[in-house]
Structure 1
Amino acid sequence: MITRLEQSEGANIGVFVSGKVDAAEENKWIAIFDKLIADHGEINILIVIDDNISFTLEAAYNDFKWALKNIKHMNNLAIVSNSKTLAWLIAVDSPFGKLVGVNEKHFETSELAQAWHWVTS
């Protein structure tokens, strides 16, 4: 399940991801993100990830395909989770993200306010 965070406004969108995400839900959110890109050109994304999430293979593929296609429209990407694995993956990936103009950063769930500040700066 994906839900929009209240603080979302303009080119800044935050979502909370929990439980199982299937292709239909992923495609619904892809349309929302596409509309934001059409309206603003570049967007900032904050994703809060629950400890117990799962994606269907089709949803994960659609997400990956969308990200590759739209990477040039992403500015700041904040991932908020308690996952040490995600923190490590983002630390490894962030130098590559910078090469294509995306700033990526991981935050612990207790740092949500700091994540919002960073992603919208």
Structure 2
Amino acid sequence: MVKKLSTSEGRYLGYEISGTIGSDQERLWIADLEAALELHKKVCVLLVLDVGAKWGVHAGVSDIKWVLSHMSKLEKIAVVTDEKVWKWLISVDSQFAKLVGIQERHFPVEQIEPAWAWLKG
């Protein structure tokens, strides 16, 4: 399930991700991001991933395609989770993201406020 966080505002978008994300949820999330991009040149995204957060194959492919075609419109991505595998993935991915001008950082769940502050800073 994808739930937009009430703390989202303007170009700063936050989402809570739980369970397996299917294609329908992925389309809604992408539509929300594209609506923000109609109003703003770039967006910053905060993702709160619960323990069971994962993407179905079709949703994952759709997500990758969207990111690859919109890299220049993403400024910062904060991933908030206590899952160690995500921390490791973000540390690796952030190096590639940096090459295309995206700042990406991992935060533990108890640091959601610092994550928002970094995203907006």
TM-score category, normalised to shorter length? over 0.9
Structure-2 residue corresponding to 1:80: 80
Deviation of 1:54 after TM superposition, in Å, equals 3.0
Greater shift, 1-10 or 91-100, is seen at: 91-100
Deviation of 1:55 after TM superposition, in Å, equals 2.1
Distance of 1:85 and 1:54 partners within structure 2: 12
Distance of 1:112 and 1:81 partners within structure 2: 9
Structure-2 residue corresponding to 1:15: 15
| Aligned residue identity for 1:29 | W
Q: Percent identity?
A: 34
| Aligned residue identity for 1:81 | T
- CA offsets, 1:33-63, max 9 Å, x none? 0111121010000000000123221111111
Greater shift, 48-57 or 98-107, is seen at: 48-57
- SS of the residue corresponding to residue 50 of structure 2 reads strand
Written as runs of structure 1 = structure 2, the 5 A alignment for 1:12-91 is 12-91=12-91
- Give the unaligned 5+ runs of structure 2: none
| Aligned residue identity for 1:103 | Q
Deviation of 1:11 after TM superposition, in Å, equals 0.4
**TM-score relative to the length of structure 1:** 0.96
Correspondence 1:103 to 2:103: yes
- Give the unaligned 5+ runs of structure 1: none
**TM-score relative to the length of structure 2:** 0.96
Distance of 2:117 and 2:103 partners within structure 1: 14
- SS of the residue corresponding to residue 51 of structure 2 reads strand
Aligned residues: 121
Distance of 1:83 and 1:69 partners within structure 2: 28
- CA offsets, 1:3-25, max 9 Å, x none? 01111000000000001211011
Dislocated runs of 4+, deviation >6 Å: none
Distance 1:38 1:66, change over 3 A: same
